[in-house]
Amino acid sequence: MGFLNSLRLRARRAMRSRALRNLVLLLAAYTLLDALRIQRIITGATPPREAIAKRPRKTQKVYIAGMHYNDGALIKEHWNAAVLGLVDALGRGNVFVSVYESGSWDESKAWLRELDDELFKRGVRRNVVLDERTHLQEVEEGEKDDGGGEGTKEGWIMTPRGKREMRRIPFLARLRNLTLRDLWRLTDEGEVFDTVLFLNDVVFTADDVLALLDTNGGLYAAACSLDFSEPPSYYDTFALRDSAGQAHLMQTWPYFRSAASRAAMMAYADAVPVRSCWNGIVAMPAAPFLAPEASGRRLRFRAVADSLAEEKHLEGSECCLIHVDNPLTEHLGVWLNPRVRVGYDGDAYRWANPAEGSWVSVWRVIVGKWEGRLRRLLTSDSVKEWVVRKRVREWEAEGEGRSEKGVDCLINEGQVLVYNGWAHV
């Protein structure tokens, strides 16, 4: 009898073992097939570059705005040629090119002068500003002007380092607004542009921009590329927020915590819904930037209030806050286009745009989906978000007329300008 019971026990264990093994095999097979399905979608969804270039498109007037700081090698090897190619693709008479370079100590100015010359030869309207003021001069001259009293200079705060320092974001917002001066001048003269195209210091092609302009059938408050500096991690974490207003779940594919953003990314849609993005190249309808200045409705770049940054140690990107302030955001949406991928150097661009195969491997799909599941199950940003919202509520209550609607953009951090760039404080 004992022998029979032993056999029955062994048989049950074997059946359970086989059932578990079969379940694992089924799960593995499903995971692999699902990864192959997603990669096939990614590989098959992107039209050849030649098809993008030949696609019929409505003629539009595009105001191109770019900023540079110590980007000499990039400008020389990639940026100038890409801008010239883009100008030809859009039509030389349909564009205005505005470039603002500030305080570089490399060869950026020399190569931008060459771009200026080439645009002149092509009869392209442009304004290439080469600012000699370095970051060190900005800081030193600001220190002289800043008395630290009641009328202290805007953009300067007392930092945790125990001294008054110049904030980075108001500085960047001011420079970005400087790139728009000719847009406002031309508007006052009666010329109307359809689109403002912001070009960061990235490697791109004219076809990349043409594809970006077609995002979501051309209906958007903003359309952004996806940027890479050290692949496979994407770069601009400061500005990107998913459809729920949350920061990324992970820096690698599929990136997002919110179901809507994640599903669109896995479907490789050309329009992934987000609350905010910048990520290398951004196209926005020009209309909000063209509102009369006297109306108080003109869209421009800004930072959060100095008092919020100083008293509550919070900061937000000007490239996130612009979407909060844009009146078109609610109606047309902000979209990330993963089919348009740019890099901060040639290697990153080539990784993101391989000549053959997919930029997301089968293994990356498998790892990304399972890592994402585990992160959603085991991690949460609720505490960080609660801290930020609590600080904003306190700040608003502590002063009359205080308000900040860009809470999703804010992080528990300070950023200041220093002689060779910027620093966390």
Pairing type for strands 334-343 and 281-285 reads unpaired
pLDDT digits (tens, 9 = 90+) for 393-412: 999 999 999 999 999 999 99
pLDDT at 21: 78
With bands split at pLDDT 50, 70 and 90, how would you rate the model's confidence at 294?
A: confident
Say yes or no to pLDDT of 176 above 60: yes
**What is the residue range of 58's domain?**
49-424
Say what the pLDDT of residue 293 is.
86
Residue 218 lies in a domain: yes
The pLDDT assigned to 57 comes to 67
The CATH number linked to 280 is 3.90.550.10
Helices (H), 267-405: 306-312, 318-325, 329-332, 346-352, 362-378, 382-397
Query: Over 80: is that where the pLDDT of 182 sits?
Result: yes
- 28 in a structural domain: no
11, part of any domain? no
The CA distance from 375 to 367, in Å, is 12
Which pLDDT score is estimated for 188? 93
CA–CA distances in Å: residue 13 to residues 1, 2, 21, 24, 333:
19, 17, 12, 16, 56
Q: What is the mean pLDDT of residues 57-66?
A: 90
Query: Does residue 161 lie within any of the structural domains?
Result: yes
Residue 401 belongs to a domain: yes
Does a structural domain hold residue 9? no
Q: Mean pLDDT over residues 72-82, rounded?
A: 98
**Is the previous residue joined to 48 through a cis bond, with omega within 30 degrees of 0?**
no
Specify if 30 maps to a domain: no
> If DSSP states are collapsed to H, E and C, what string results for 264-303?
HHHCCCCCEEEEECCCCEEEEECHHHHCCHHHCCCCCCCC
d(Cα 126, Cα 283) in Å, to the nearest integer? 18
**For 86-90, what is the mean pLDDT?**
97
- pLDDT tens by residue, 276-286: 999 999 999 99
pLDDT in tens, 9-18: 665 665 667 7
> What is the pLDDT averaged over residues 135-162?
79
**Residue 377: per-residue pLDDT:** 96
> What percentage of the chain carries pLDDT values higher than 70?
91
In the chain, the number of structural domains is 1
| pLDDT of the residue at 59 | 78
Give domain status of residue 2, yes or no.
no
Q: How far apart are CA 272 and CA 321, in angstroms?
A: 19
Token look-up 């080469």 returns: 130
Output the CA torsion 105→108→113→114 (10° steps). Answer: 140
**What count of Cα atoms within 13 Å lies in the side-chain half-sphere of residue 40?**
6
Q: What is the average pLDDT value for the chain, to the nearest integer? A: 92
What residues pair up with 421 in beta bridges, in sequence order? 418
pLDDT for 7 equals 52
